[in-house]
A and B are shown apart, each in its own frame.
Chain A
Amino acid sequence: MNQPLSVRTVDIWKTFEAEPEPVHALQGISLEVAQGEFTAIAGPSGCGKTTLLNVLGGLTRATSGEVWVAGSDLEALSERRLARLRLEHIGFVFQAYNLLPVLTALENAEFTLLLKGVDRQERRQRVLALFAKLGLEDLEDRRPGRLSGGQQQRVAVVRAVVGAPAIVLADEPTANLDSHASDDLLRMMEELNHELGTTFIFATHDPRVMERSHRLIRLVDGQIESDDVRAPPAGAGSG
């Protein structure tokens, strides 16, 4: 694997205080994800998939261990720097779409660009190009409440990738979609992975996501049970 690394974790543990005893959601996860990978993390409910994604995204801190994302040690960053790292280098796609209800589809999609200070013309250009690619033309002015689940998830994908992040973390992105919409979404993310070289890491139960991923990591009880690499990362052959 010659690609630069998007993510590296070293022996990370995440423990939640609980009664009668603490819950060890992650138990010594060490992992390297290269730029351009299309990776699925699978496993039964409660195995630690979402917790791992949250740790990789800096939404929660590991109890111990090292987490490196886009060259930064997340555990060493202040909350403010962590927020800015998320803005610059990490895109999120959530199961529940999580678009901001008061913004239109276009405004939701360009939100991270606004925060980055990208000028209006460039924002619109980048968002509309992705809208066209993902079949969202003419939906720019609609609020999330007037979009279907599949459309909302596609807007969320545009929001996640439009800022050209080092990594996109997608937590059960197809869980609320029918099979047709799921296939469409996966195809689009594959295209973005291939064309933009964006790293995707999915937490999923969905067999279709597992089948189409280039690498499948199985978690059981907070530990990596298997790590199966099936294809090289996007762009690995070109350079």
Chain B
Amino acid sequence: MPERTDPPGLSNGVLLRLAFRNVRKSARRSILTASAMTLGLALLILSRTLADGAHESWIDQGVRLGAGHVAVQGEGYQTSKSLDDLLSAADLDGAVEALGSPQFESRVSAYAPRLTAPGLASSTGSSVPVLLTGVDPAVEVEFSPLDDLLAEGRYLEPDDRLAAYVGEGLVRRLGLRIGSRFVVTAADADGQIQGQLLRVRGVFRTGVPDLDQSLVHLPLSTAQDWLGTRGGVTSLAILMWSSRTAAAARRELRDLLPSRGVEVLTWTETAPELEAAVKIDDLGDWVFHGITLAIVALAILNAVLMSVLHRRREFGVLRALGLTANETGRVVIAEGVMLSVISGLLGIALGLGVVFGFWSDGLDMSFLMDQELEISGSLIDPVMVPAFRIAQIGWSLLFILFIGISASLYPARQAARIDVAEAMKFER
């Protein structure tokens, strides 16, 4: 005798048909719920892309003024900050040669050798502590944002010898002007205090008082001769097209460079305070997103639960006709998923539409800022340009689906646990 089998019950096709018809039947409720989800997702996408864009801008500004997305340095320099731990001329050449290989071609935007030392800038009137950076003017213009912030004079040029590019804060403190001479002193590679006469060729203005008072660019060759580094530098700063490729580039460079005497670090190691600032801001954003999405989830929960409570008789009928408790719950979840998918797609379209509106010009937040802002040595651009990533959109969609399904679980449980006899009596 053949074994008796149960009928198949609720197929996915019937489930989807019921869900779609119910969503369509309660059009007003569905539209209101979907609107909440659509706006929530659009807000999430806009907010995430703007935050990502802003963070990428912070990182970009920070690494351009700092040690790059990836820095090749002498071993131990990151902690000692001493000219005892220089990157030798031979290691510098080796690193430059490695960067010329095809594997970096598409990812590396620019690289610049730098010799950085803390020192003192003095004129006849006063002295100010500064951060002296010897740069190669030919490559630095591709790298640093300082040449674009020119207030007076000009940036350094390859033929310059005793030239300096300084901030307007320093000019004011030392009573300088274009063409003025001043003296910088710093400890050289042998630990001896050495002085160097420089002439002001250009003045920049970042708007950040600390930067305008402390940064001094001078020609790399002048700095090397003055500090006796014999062609050595403190770092080879490497700028990537995207900060996300920094970790991979570091791994590959480490494989190509000698393991002794050379360190390859990413910006998260050379500027941990910048990474912390990005993470803290991100955390704040996600708390905000969490609150927004919790409100959206409650709106969905309310709408779906009300729908279930108003349809007790209908769920009772489904159970009477032979649906199991689980199948009845699945009908409710399918409605939540359907609403979420429709809202998710609309939300993505709306979010991307708004993002596209800010794509070229960005969102100008300068009206909120009295003066230029700086975080961890990074200038904050008041214009937030969104950064679009496919993965981010995918995650946002998954997130809204998760919320839609989660918010449907309790109503689904209520529908599944319905007392059929009571539910049928309910509408009498």
**B321 touches which of A86, A95, A96, A102 (Cβ 8 Å):** A86
Is the CB of A231 closer than 8 A to any CB of chain B?
A: no
Is the CB of A117 closer than 8 A to any CB of chain B?
A: yes
**One of B7-15, B36-44, B272-280 contacting the partner:** B7-15
Which range holds the interface residue count of chain B?
20 to 34
* 304-320 of chain B: CB within 8 A of chain A: 313-314, 316-320
Is the CB of B363 closer than 8 A to any CB of chain A?
A: no
* A139 and B322 alpha carbons, distance in the complex (Å): 25
* 64-118 of chain A: CB within 8 A of chain B: 79-81, 83-84, 86-88, 92, 94-96, 98, 100-103, 111-112, 114-117
Say yes or no: A117-B317 contact (C-beta < 8 A), given A59-B420, A83-B322, A102-B21: no
Interface centre among A50, A102, A103 (most CB of B within 10 A): A102
B14 touches A115 (CB 8 A): yes
Tell me, rounded to whole Å, the shortest Cβ–Cβ distance linking A26 to chain B. 13
Q: Secondary structure at chain B's binding surface: helix, strand, loop or mixed?
A: helix
* A54 and B428 alpha carbons, distance in the complex (Å): 15
* A113 and B393 alpha carbons, distance in the complex (Å): 42
A59 touches B18 (CB 8 A): no
* 17-51 of chain A: CB within 8 A of chain B: 50-51
Is the CB of B159 closer than 8 A to any CB of chain A?
A: no
Tell me, rounded to whole Å, the shortest Cβ–Cβ distance linking B369 to chain A. 55
A100 touches B421 (CB 8 A): no
B324 touches A117 (CB 8 A): no
Is the CB of A197 closer than 8 A to any CB of chain B?
A: no
Say yes or no: A79-B7 contact (C-beta < 8 A), given A60-B421, A95-B428, A102-B22: no
Chain A residues near B25 (CB-CB < 8 A): 101-102
* 1-33 of chain B: CB within 8 A of chain A: 6-11, 14, 18, 21-22, 24-25
**B317 touches which of A60, A81, A98, A114 (Cβ 8 Å):** A98
B7 touches A100 (CB 8 A): no
Say yes or no: A86-B320 contact (C-beta < 8 A), given A101-B25, A115-B14: yes
B7 touches A115 (CB 8 A): yes
Is the CB of B427 closer than 8 A to any CB of chain A?
A: yes
Is the CB of B257 closer than 8 A to any CB of chain A?
A: no
Interface centre among B22, B320, B325 (most CB of A within 10 A): B320
Is the CB of A57 closer than 8 A to any CB of chain B?
A: yes
Is the CB of B349 closer than 8 A to any CB of chain A?
A: no
Chain A residues near B6 (CB-CB < 8 A): 81, 84
B324 touches A88 (CB 8 A): no
* A117 and B18 alpha carbons, distance in the complex (Å): 16
- What are 12 inter-chain pairs, A to B, with CB distance below 8 A? A54-B421, A60-B420, A60-B421, A96-B428, A98-B424, A101-B25, A111-B321, A114-B11, A115-B9, A116-B7, A117-B7, A117-B8
